Amino acid sequence: MLLTATDRLAHAQDQLLAANDLDINQLENGLASLWARGGDYGDLYFEMTTRDTWSLERGKVARAAFSISQGIGARAVTGDNTAFAYSSDISPKALGAVTAAARAMQSQGQDSGETGRGVAIKPVGQDSQAYSTMEAAGGMDTIQKVALLRKLDDMARAVDPRITEVNAQLAVEDSTILVSATDATLAGDVRPQVRINLSVVAEGNARRASGSAGGGGRFTLDEFDQQSLEKLVRKATSVALTNLQAIPSPAGEMTVVLGNGFPGVLLHEAVGHGLEGDFHRKRESVFNGMMGERVAAPGVTVVDDATVLGARGSLNIDDEGVMGQRTVLIEDGRLVGLMQDKISARIMNDRMTGNGRRQSYSDLPMTRMTNTFLENGPYDPQEIIASVKNGIYAVEFSGGTVDITSGQFNFSAEQAFLIEDGKVTAPIEGATLIGVGNEALKHISMIGNDLEMGIGFCGKNGQTVPVCVGQPTIRMDQVVVGGGGA
């Protein structure tokens, strides 16, 4: 069934307002209260989230948990100053308490502005239609969930007798949110989220090596079919078994081929955060003052897209009630756009892009990525590898760090190989890519045609939200690689 913005709002009103003796008039009164001592903007955010998690270790259920969290957040904004209060209770009393607390904090230490304004909110008539289901479990019961994990365990162990340990986890989450704001916004969303993680350990040659893989998005759990499970198993076991044979990575400046999919985390960390509007308004990004300038090689186009159907980072509406959108950040090598939430967009006189996100009702929204990726280029991946005489092929990454202000980054490869005379040869370990984000983009010389998305979490200012990262296979020249060998 195709769900509309009206359907989702109606569901949110039933679950979050009617069920708690609240109505639209009380929301409008609460918003008016946020403006009682002046201000530029105020909003109310209601949320109820259920989470169901299961973990299988050594063939047995190790952990299982179910939780429900709900509450209200009230925000009052004046200039670049924000007052925020929240409650884990949803009720008329709690609504009055959080709006009064935010209003009281807002008035401290500042002059009163325009006062006495009323608020009339109206439904948002459109959203991005990025997901349609209203229940993540898809009808699967407890027995079926455990059976799914046992199947993953059996499949992984059957790959190779050297696979000695298998851990599998699944998480099912359903969130219902409602946003009302002094700019007349009234919007609701129902957000499913499923995730499966698989990690394995291989033993051989007096060595141990691990590998992992994950999948998921805003769809139902029963959409993990045989093909998608096989892909997870193949990836996790391949990393572990390959690394049993790995030799120390060479070090120095060299050509690097990055695999498709999750290696896009380098782009996400080294470039994406620097293109979030709040870092720009605070003058904290290495990309400040570069709008319209060339920041990457020709052919490099970077996009943040909340409308990708069923993707982990997709949003019908963001956490400020703005419709999820596709935002081009870098086009053919030039910086052309930023991700914006409502506050940054207003202060910077820029358009809202639907990137206002928060971890929960108890957190303030801020500018965040959704699904961020490098678009396809013209080259076959094998053609890219064949073009390299000597270098490394980094297939998977395990993590890294970046400094937003300077753009400096380092990322560790979880699975990598030598490239010798245009061919992938020995697996290597200990390879770390080091560089500066905006400079590294200028050294992309070939872009593949095999774009794939990987899933993950994004952390910022203590908050974590689900995202996708992605890219096709790419060739980067003059990359500094730290390694375990000379």
pLDDT in tens, 256-303: 999 999 999 888 888 899 999 999 998 888 899 999 999 999 999 999
What percentage of the chain exceeds 90 in pLDDT?
81
Q: Which range of residues forms the domain containing residue 381?
A: 247-482
Question: Do 22 and 99 share a domain, yes or no?
Answer: yes
Work out the average pLDDT over 34-58.
92
Domain boundary among 243, 271, 296: 243
> How many whole angstroms separate alpha carbon 251 and alpha carbon 392?
10
Question: Do 473 and 406 share a domain, yes or no?
Answer: yes
For residue 121, the model assigns a pLDDT of 81
Domains in the chain: how many in total?
A: 2
Question: Do 37 and 139 share a domain, yes or no?
Answer: yes
Domain boundary among 188, 223, 243: 243
0.85 surpassed by pTM: yes
pLDDT in tens, 97-140: 999 999 888 766 444 444 445 678 888 888 899 998 878 998 89
Q: CATH number of the domain that 136 lies in?
A: 3.30.2290.10
Question: Do 377 and 229 share a domain, yes or no?
Answer: no
Question: Do 262 and 409 share a domain, yes or no?
Answer: yes
For residue 159, the model assigns a pLDDT of 97
SS3 assignment, position 156: helix
Question: Do 302 and 157 share a domain, yes or no?
Answer: no
Question: Do 191 and 121 share a domain, yes or no?
Answer: yes
> Does 393 have pLDDT greater than 60?
yes
Domain boundary among 210, 243, 276: 243
> How many whole angstroms separate alpha carbon 80 and alpha carbon 347?
8
For residue 400, the model assigns a pLDDT of 73
| Confidence at 484, pLDDT banded by 50, 70, 90 | low
Work out the average pLDDT over 74-103.
93
Rounded to 10°, the helix 226-243/142-159 angle is 40
Which structure tokens are listed for 322?
Answer: 């703005």
Q: In this structure, which long-range contacts are made by residues 12-20, counting pairs with CB atoms below 8 Å and at least 24 apart in sequence? A: 12/46, 12/176, 12/177, 12/178, 12/188, 12/189, 12/190, 13/178, 13/188, 15/48, 15/176, 16/46, 16/47, 16/48, 16/90, 16/176, 16/177, 16/178, 16/188, 17/46, 17/178, 20/90, 20/91, 20/92
> Does 485 have pLDDT greater than 90?
no
> Does 334 have pLDDT greater than 90?
yes
pLDDT in tens, 314-328: 999 999 999 999 999
For residue 111, the model assigns a pLDDT of 42
For residue 91, the model assigns a pLDDT of 96
Question: Do 309 and 441 share a domain, yes or no?
Answer: yes
